[in-house]
Amino acid sequence: MKAFSLATAVIALSITLTGCGSAQQSGTSARASDAPMVFSSARSPRSIANCLSSRLTGVDRRMGAGYTELGLGRSANGYAWLVTLKPSAVGSNVTVEKVIDNDSVSEPELRFAIARCTT
């Protein structure tokens, strides 16, 4: 059963990452990657947060009632990326959104770390 839920999480993650990396349609002003990535993981919020903190530099962790936020890529204007982790019945709900244009944490580097830490 655990293998099934892990396989489901991997498939959901790959579909999410594929959709977010798709090419932009001509004539649209917003990039596809500007929309938040939302998916589920079988891992706990604490496990994901610890893993991302070990793989990325400058991770600012804030915890609230029922959620954990990770700010990535700190600059004078704020964070480049915001990762929100909420516990669910089978692990975590993960939301990743780009807040400002800042290359302190590149999108490919972030995607790789998230893929490693959520599967």
**What's the total number of domains in the chain?**
1
pTM score over 0.75:
no
The answer as to whether 31 is a domain residue is no
pLDDT recorded at residue 90:
93
The answer as to whether 27 is a domain residue is no
Name the percent of the chain in helix, strand, coil, to the closest 5. 40, 30, 30
Distances (CA, A) of 14 to 11, 19, 34: 5, 8, 18
The answer as to whether 112 is a domain residue is yes
> 104 is in which domain, residue-wise?
2-21+36-118
| Residue 85 belongs to domain with CATH number | 3.30.310
The answer as to whether 100 is a domain residue is yes
Instruction: Give the tens place of pLDDT for each residue, 13-24.
Output: 555 555 544 443
The answer as to whether 17 is a domain residue is yes
